[in-house]
Each structure stands twice: as structure tokens, then as C-alpha cells.
Amino acid sequence: PPLYKQRYHFIKQLVDKHKPKKVADLGCADCRLLWMLKFCNCIEELVGLDISEEVMKETMYMLSPLPSDYLQPSERQLTVTLLQGSVAHKDPCMLGFDMVTCIELIEHLEAKELEKFPEVVFGFMSPAMIVISTPNSEFNYLLPTVSLFRHPDHKFEWNRTQFQNWAVSVAARYDYTVEFTGVGEPPHGKDVGFCTQIGVFVRKKLRNVEPERFEEYQRRVYKTIFKVIY
Ligand code: SAM
């Protein structure tokens, strides 16, 4: 299967294993991962965030209920929300999540945004689990069409050491553990790592500050562009 499907499949397996109720996908783009996750019965709240309203608007109709959802309503309540905003800014509506996914997002961030990202996602949102994927530059020479980066909008592409150093230091700062894996196996006998590298971060402690308490004094900065309740 294509690489993006392997990435989504990886997330789906994690969801099936850990059964999060509230999941947010940061840099959700065309909402394909959200669309897949809406079929996971454990999930009661799905939120997608992207800086580009246009990219979400093109395909967000996919997230609307189908006639069958009304004809055979399920027991669980599911709310799907799309938000326009940046991962460099804190918004109280991102508090209280069990899982946050950032699939092929960080390499699109400007240096200033990447600097703020850990404090927003790990420090502020502080979900139980965070999954971050990014290209592994060591794999690039196996991709014939790649010159500098795999995509013109990429601000950087890291090798395994660069990604792991960044991830380990962020995890230590915000009291998470991190484990590394990936999708896209290298050809037999080549030690270049996975095509897509993935870090799975798990928060060490239970939250000690209740999300509701923040909400009183944090201003909303994200814009809701879509909301549907199943
Ligand atoms: N996650 C999607 C997937 O797996 O198919 C694709 C992600 S796409 C390669 C990167 C996305 O990040 C784009 O849709 C872009 O608009 C979004 N993005 C870039 N900078 C952002 C920021 N500061 N905050 C939120 N989203 C951002």
C-alpha cells in the first residue's frame, strides 16, 4: 500500500490498542485520517486542526453523516470538529485529549513555529499520547525523483539521529517517554531506517491540572469551520 495509507494504518492500530476517546489530528489537511478514524467505535470526539482553511474545506463533506448514520444510529455519540489555526498557538479547545497525531506536519513548520510546537502540544495540550511522523532523510537516496527534499514545502528533513535527538529532549522536558518506529521498510540489507520515521510519546503522569481550569482564562484563537454531531 502507498506510504500515507501505511501511516494511517499505524495510527488506526494504536487507536484500536489504546482506545482513546478524544483524538486530535494536527495538520489534518484533507481530513483523510479523520475520515478513517470516525469508524473507530471508541472515539467520541475527533478534532482536526490545520492552518489552511482551503485544504480542509475541499473535502470536509466526507466527514458529514451518511444516510445510514441516521437510519441506524449507533449508541455512541461522536462529534467531529474542524478548526483553522496554528500549532504555534494555544487554544483551550485542545485541552483534555487522549491522543494527538501529527502526521507529516513538523517538517512544514517554520523555525519559529517549530520552536513553539513542543510547548503548545506537549506542555499545554498535554495529551496522554502523541504520535509524530516525519520523513527520514537517510532514505531519500532510494527515492529516484527526490533532489533536496521530498516536497517543496518542506522546511527541513531529518535523519534518524536528528529526529531522535529532538524527540528525546522534548520528551525529557515535558515528562513523556518516547519510542521510535516507522513505516516503509528499507530494501533488504540497507541500514537506512524506515522511509517515514515515527515517534510515539506517552505522558508519564496523570494530568494534575484539570482542563476546565485553564478554559476560564485562555482565549479562543482557533476558528471553527465545521462541526457535526452524530
Ligand atoms: N497529516 C496529513 C496526512 O497525513 O495526510 C498531511 C499533512 S500535510 C503534508 C501538512 C499540513 O500541515 C498541511 O495541510 C499544512 O496546511 C499544515 N500546516 C502547516 N503549518 C501548520 C501550522 N503551523 N499549524 C497547523 N497546520 C499547519
- pLDDT bin (cut points 50, 70, 90) of residue 221 is very high
**pLDDT beyond 90 at 206:** no
Q: Residue 122: which pLDDT band, with cuts at 50, 70 and 90?
A: very high
Pairing of strands 99-103, 129-135: parallel
**Ligand 1 atom having least distance to the Cα of 32:** 5
Instruction: Write down the pLDDT at residue 166.
Output: 98
Rg of the chain over Cα atoms, rounded to whole angstroms, equals: 18
Spatial contact of 81 and 92, defined as CB atoms under 8 Å apart = no
Residue 186 vs residue 105, higher pLDDT: 105
- Pick the range with the lowest mean pLDDT from 58-72, 94-108, 176-190: 58-72
At 215 the pLDDT is 57
Chain-wide mean pLDDT for the chain? 93
Tell me the pLDDT tens digit for each residue of 31-53: 999 999 999 999 999 999 999 99
- pTM confidence score: 0.95
Residues having CB within 6 Å of any atom of ligand 1:
4, 7, 27-29, 32-33, 49-52, 55, 86-88, 103-105, 108-109, 113
Residues 75 and 35: their CA atoms lie apart, in Å, by: 19
Instruction: State the Cα–Cα distance between residues 170 and 214, nearest whole angstrom.
Output: 22
Report the pLDDT value the prediction gives residue 211, as an integer from 0 to 100. 56
Q: Which residue lies with its CA nearest to atom 9 of ligand 1?
A: 104
CA distance 55 to 28: 9
The pLDDT value recorded for residue 145 is: 79
pLDDT given for residue 205 in this prediction? 85
- Say if residue 25's pLDDT is above 90: yes
